[in-house]
């Protein structure tokens, strides 16, 4: 009986790994966990609800001040310090989509029905516009994510001598695009209300962010890195426009055929 108790005391109660200190080296659980008490339940709930995810907070801060350094350090092995780049990109993409759905673009319906007092015509117009707008938002996000490997491939092509492999170029692309979505979130409601400068700001942010990140990620002088980064970004954006408008053409052709 004593041997059984000692065995449990030497192994993590959560995952069964052998303990070598207060916290389990495998799952991180406190080895002092004993009989459950109600105040412990309340403390755990408060901790889970209000704790700050330090890696994602650190990732956001460091990507703002030194974007290329974050990708470089993650590639070098600091995987616990920063959030996984794919997770970071997907989280910020989802957040931006939520904002776009919360603040849809305002449409001036009076112009649409200027020649008609028919409320049904106006309502049909608004529904059609909202449908198209929703498609544009979803498809734009889909195309952006779909072409991230293309941007990584272009990055590798223009920085072939950097010694980075394709996966490491993907890390840079994911962090940059995720952080671009973070910058875009506060501007999206303004853009939805017709502020053109907000749209321009969103486009400029990626144009500035990617070259800055490249300067911290690739070895070399700034004046040799920035032109190559801008060229790779321009080709990526060109591919984005071609794919997006190609899909839009197919979509509206199918809609017309269905009608």
Per-residue model confidence as pLDDT tens digits over 51-85: 555 788 889 999 999 889 999 999 988 888 888 99
N-term to C-term CA, the chain:
77
Q: How would residue 4 be classed by pLDDT, with cut points 50, 70 and 90?
A: very low
Hey, which residues does 18 pair with through a beta bridge?
11
The average pLDDT across 148-161 equals 93
What angle do the packed helices 196-217 and 222-258 form, to 10 degrees?
A: 130
Hey, which residues does 23 pair with through a beta bridge?
30
Output the pTM of the full model: 0.71
The average pLDDT across 109-132 equals 53
Distance CA 147, CA 149 (A): 5
């Amino acid at each position: 009986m004593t041997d059984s108790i000692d065995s449990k005391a030497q192994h993590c109660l959560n995952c069964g790994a052998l303990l070598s200190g207060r916290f389990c080296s495998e799952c991180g659980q406190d080895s002092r966990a004993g009989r459950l008490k109600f105040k412990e339940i309340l403390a755990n709930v408060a901790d889970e609800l209000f704790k700050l995810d330090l890696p994602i907070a650190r990732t956001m801060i460091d990507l703002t001040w030194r974007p290329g350094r974050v990708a470089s350090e993650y590639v070098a092995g600091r995987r616990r310090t920063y959030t996984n780049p794919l997770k970071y990109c997907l989280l910020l993409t989802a957040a931006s989509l939520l904002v776009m759905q919360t603040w849809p673009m305002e449409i001036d319906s009076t112009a649409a029905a200027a020649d008609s007092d028919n409320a049904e015509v106006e309502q049909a117009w608004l529904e059609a516009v909202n449908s198209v707008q929703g498609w544009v938002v979803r498809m734009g996000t889909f195309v952006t994510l779909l072409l991230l490997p293309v941007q990584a491939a272009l990055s590798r092509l223009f920085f072939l001598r950097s010694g980075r492999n394709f996966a490491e170029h993907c890390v840079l692309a994911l962090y940059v695009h995720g952080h671009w979505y973070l910058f875009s979130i506060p501007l999206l409601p303004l853009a939805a209300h017709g502020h053109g400068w907000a749209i321009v700001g969103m486009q400029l942010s990626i144009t500035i962010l990617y070259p800055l990140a490249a300067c911290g990620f690739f070895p070399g002088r700034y004046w040799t890195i920035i032109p190559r980064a801008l060229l790779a970004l321009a080709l990526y954006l060109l591919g984005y426009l071609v794919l997006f408008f190609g899909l839009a053409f197919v979509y509206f052709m199918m809609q017309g055929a269905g009608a």
